[in-house]
Structures are given as structure tokens and as C-alpha cells.
Structure 1
Amino acid sequence: MVKNGGGRPRQALAEAALEYLLAGGRPEQSLRALAAGIGVSHSLLLYHFGSATGLLGAVHVACEQREREHLAALRASGDDPVAVMRAMWRHLSEPALWPLYRLGFALRVRADVPTSDQQAQRDAWVDALGPLLAATGVSGPVVRDEALLWVATARGLLWELVTGADPDAVHRAAERFIAQVGAAR
């Protein structure tokens, strides 16, 4: 059921759909089935999102926002930046999130999902990672480049996880990447 979104019904609906999908709902369902899964009418979803693709795009944005908030909470813990990176990788690579990553990857290649939305999400991650990388000693204009490298590497590793690569090998690769950042300090 949809919780009050503080006057932001679209956001509340996207969050409810995110929770539904995390609990095992299937993103390939029809808009009617997704609406039934979150306890609202399909016409309400149609009004706010225009289509199932619009809803799933908003779910993807909500998921990525939630992950950036998790990163911010880890950073606020005051832990060493490399420890924060390891904790974030452990969180991101949880199998419960894999269906949402599959959804995100599928949405990225669809012609009806604006590339400006994808760029906005990428920029939001770069902005979120910048302070963490600066804390490792990365400075100046290369902070954004390093943050983009992190985004691309994490997405590539997550792609490998959700498409059947050996999870142990993927985790070792992630650890090597994180260790390289730590060694550069």
C-alpha cells in the first residue's frame, strides 16, 4: 500500500513500487498488475507515469536515490573512506537488489527512456562519490573523473553479477579495485 509521500504522490507511488519489486514483484508485469501489487488503481499510475516504462523509470530513480542515501549514511559514520567503499560494495552486491539492477540495465537500452535521465543519474552518482574520493586523497579536477570511473566500474561489476558471472570472482575484482584506490592514498 502507498504511504503518504508528504504531498508528493508521484514519489510515494515510485517508492511503493520499489518496495513491491524488492519484495518479489516482477517488473515485466503489466501496469495493471503493478498497480494491484501496490494497492492502487492502474489509472492512478497511468496519470502519474504515463506507462509501465514511466513507472519503472521512476522506480529506478528512487532505487538509485536510496543507494546514494545509503552511501551518505556510510560516509557519515566517520569510517575510513576505503572501509566505506568496501561496505558500499557489500551493500550494492546483495542478491536481493539484482532484479532491480536487471531492470535498470534494461531501461538504459530502451529507446523510450530519455538519455538525459540517465545522464542525471550518472551525474548524481559522480556528485555523491566526489567527497568520498576526495577523502582518499584524490584532488582537483580529477575527482569527477575518478568518480565516473567508480560509477562505470561498479556498474560493470554489477552487470557481471546479474548476468551469471562467478560471484566470488566478481567480489575479488571489486576488492582489487577498492584496494587500488586505497594503495593510491
Structure 2
Amino acid sequence: MTSLPEDPPSLINEDDRDTAVRRVQEAYAEGHISHDDLDERLHQVLTAKTRGELVSPLASLPEEDLGTTSTIAAAGGRIRRRGAWRVPRILKVESAFGRVHLDLSRAVFEHPDVDIELQLGTGRAKITVPRDAIVDVEDLHTGWKDTLYKTRRRSGLGRPRIRISGTMGFGRLKIRHARR
């Protein structure tokens, strides 16, 4: 009998490692593990090379709260959020025609990582992010104009991390960091 070749182990990336470190730190902060256990688990996470090596240090930890998904949709007109509004873990913004303006500079972030999925037909979109935010637009596909965004120098304490994905037909996305 011939055996099937095994799949090669799945290597972890920076996001996987960051998520695992955060889960271990949160478990310690919430009193689920001791200080010695924290040190041992962090060592395992930081030296892991494959996803399989992350199973053991994360095994008995509470499940990660993936948060909520909210959708803001409009066929036409404006979509606007500003002030001290709560940003969900996953925010979907859908608009066939019209403008979108999301001001996250004074928003309340309940999760360190936020995913914003844009599904826009025509019209402009503007997103103002907190001064220390890390923004990732690699998964955003634009049909007509490029995204206007100048990447800031990353700071070690840069939070929140905002990933913007989705598709934009005709229009332009402008992203800027708040001045204060």
C-alpha cells in the first residue's frame, strides 16, 4: 500500500505570532495563568516556527473574542461616522453611489485589530485614523484610481491595527492620520 505525502507544516507569520502573544498576555492579565506559566508560554510562542507549535501554549486559554460584525449600507447618499462611536471588530461598508467618511480619530476601539471591508461602486471615501494606528491596505482593490495613503513610520506601540480590504469601483480612497 502506498502512503500519501504529508502536507508540509504551515509556517506562522507575524500576525499569527502577535495574536498568540496577545492571547497569552490577556490570559495572564485576567488571572487565568500564573506568572511562571506566562513566561513559559511566551517562550514557546516566540520560538515557534509552525502553527502546530502554537497549539500547546494556547491549548487551555479562553477562546479569543472575535467581536462583532456590523454593516453600514446605503444605495446612494452619504455614509458618515464621526465622534466617539464604537468600532466593531469587523466593519462592512457598502455603497453603490455616494460618499463615505469614517472618522476613527476619536472612536472607541474595543479590539486591537479592526477589519474594514469596503464595497463601493462610485464616489469618494475618506478614512481618518488615530495618530498611532497601523494601517494595511494591501487587500483593497481599486478599479479606477489609486488609494491616497502615506505610510507612517511604525512605532512599537502602534495601535490599533486597521486592515482595509474590499473593492472600489470608480472613486478614490483617501486615508490620513489624525493630527492629535
| TM-score, structure 1 as length reference | 0.28
Specify which structure has the bigger relative contact order, considering alpha-carbon pairs within 8 angstroms and separated by 6 or more residues.
1
| TM-score, structure 2 as length reference | 0.28
More helix by share: 1
Give 1 or 2 for the bigger CA radius of gyration. 2
